[in-house]
Structure 1
Amino acid sequence: MLTQEVELNMQKSVEACQRNFNTIRTGRANTSLLDRLTVEYYGADTPLKSLATISTPDSQTLAIQPFDLGSLGLIEKAISISDLGFTPNNDGKIIRINIPPLTEERRKQFCKLASKYAEEAKISLRNIRRDAIEKIKGSEKDGEFSEDQSRDQQDSIQKITNKYINEIEKNLSGKEEEILKV
């Protein structure tokens, strides 16, 4: 029971890490680059995906076509002030963003960012492991588990933790390879 709960929580941490990886630029246009962008629309922060269709007409361009043309200026402003470093081009109907090729220095910065996201995910996994082991030790003290059962449970939780840490490492190396590929 506890191991299933731990595994589910760890899987969620890995998925969150992967979503973070998807927001990192790799030199190619990708609609997930704008996933976290919110636009102040009628006084409320609204995700860009709710306001417009985002597409990639080619490998170096993102096209944003708002459902409401009145929001065009707001979307353009949100992109300009975001930390993405993009300059939007507004033609009155569609906003186009040219994705410039990454410099070597910028690629290294993005690799560091990916490493940071991976480390945050690993910390999350370790916290889940710690909480589970504390529960097991508490159950052992209460007499629900024998010492051997407790040790077996702790070992299985450690194996699950190792499995997900390895998965994060694999995802990180894949992302770094993708970032560094020119």
Structure 2
Amino acid sequence: MSDDIPSILKDAEAKMKKSVEVTKDEFTAIRTGRANAAMLQGITVEYYGAPTPLNQLSSLQFPEARTIIVTPYDKSAMSGIETALRDSDLGVNPTNNGDNLRVVLPALTEERRKDYVKLARTKAEDGRVAVRGSRGNAKKAIEKLVKDKEIGEDEGTRAEKELEALTKKYNDQIDEALGLKETELETV
């Protein structure tokens, strides 16, 4: 870490901002009632002996809210893609018509929605833990500057107050994103 307060705070803020972005990205992968490309992000297909992301092997279309059309660039990868989709945690059974795969997402049950809300809350807490970790590291650096007499105690206290404000700001952003995701999940 650097040795002056502005750069310590700037570094902490950059890490907190990254934690919020990662948390929001994880929220997009949680399935809601609508089909989206982020749902398929973690699916890999065995293609010529190498695990390859689905989005690199096929084009994806979303003609309806709960329908995905997967069109492989290479028809020989069709069965591998079909198997990967069936084995994924989406709970789908793709229909193969020879040219593409039609994936119809089942409607979310009330129990499944509650599970997804719990998952979203867990991911939000992970994000908040990461923000607090960044705060802790910055606080230690500020305390070290005070201890080593490089800055005064008043300056250290001011810096810690700024750090707390940053922490609150980024935790609030995570809470806001969680609220939006919960609303999206609970909407039938």
Give the match's secondary structure for 1:122.
helix
- Partner residue, 2:67: 61
- Give 1:122's aligned amino acid: R
Of 149-158 and 115-124, deviating more is 149-158
Q: Give the equivalent residue in structure 2 for 1:102.
A: 108
Query: Superposition pairs for residues 154-165 of structure 1, below 5 Å?
Result: 154-165=160-171
CA distance in 1: counterparts of 2:184 and 2:97, whole angstroms: 32
Runs of 4+ in 1 over 3 A off after TM superposition: none
Greater CA deviation, 43-52 or 7-16?
43-52
Q: Which residue of 1 aligns with 2:79?
A: 73
Q: Name the structure 2 match of 1:118.
A: 124
Aligned to 2:134: 128
Question: Any stretches of 5+ residues in structure 1 without a counterpart?
Answer: none
TM superposition shift of 1:18: 0.7
SS of the residue corresponding to residue 92 of structure 2 reads coil
Unpaired segments of 5 or more residues in structure 2? 1-6
Match of 2:152 among 129, 135, 146: 146
Alignment size in residue pairs? 182
User: Is 76-85 or 127-136 further displaced after alignment?
Assistant: 76-85
* 1:18 alignment partner, one of 2, 20, 24: 24
RMSD across aligned C-alpha pairs, in angstroms? Answer: 1.0
The letter for the 1-side match of 2:75 is L
Deviations 1:117-159 (CA, angstroms, capped at 9, x unpaired): 1000001111111011011111222222211111111111111
TM-score (norm 2): 0.93
Query: Do residues 176 (structure 1) and 158 (structure 2) align?
Result: no
Can you list the C-alpha shifts for 1:22-44, whole angstroms capped at 9, x where unaligned? 01111111121101111122222
**TM-score computed with the length of structure 1 as normaliser:** 0.96
Offset of residue 61 of structure 1: 0.1
Aligned equivalents of 1:52, 1:143: Cα separation in 2: 60
Equivalence for 2:3: none
Asked if 1:167 corresponds to 2:173, the answer is yes
| 1-structure distance, mates of 2:177, 2:92 | 26
Equivalent position SS for 1:149: helix
2 CA distance for matches of 1:11 and 1:49? 27
CA displacement at 1:98 relative to structure 2: 0.2
Question: What secondary structure, in the 3-state scheme, does the structure 1 residue paired with 2:179 have?
Answer: helix
Tell me whether 1:42 sits opposite 2:48 in the alignment.
yes
Report how far residue 83 of structure 1 moved. Answer: 1.7
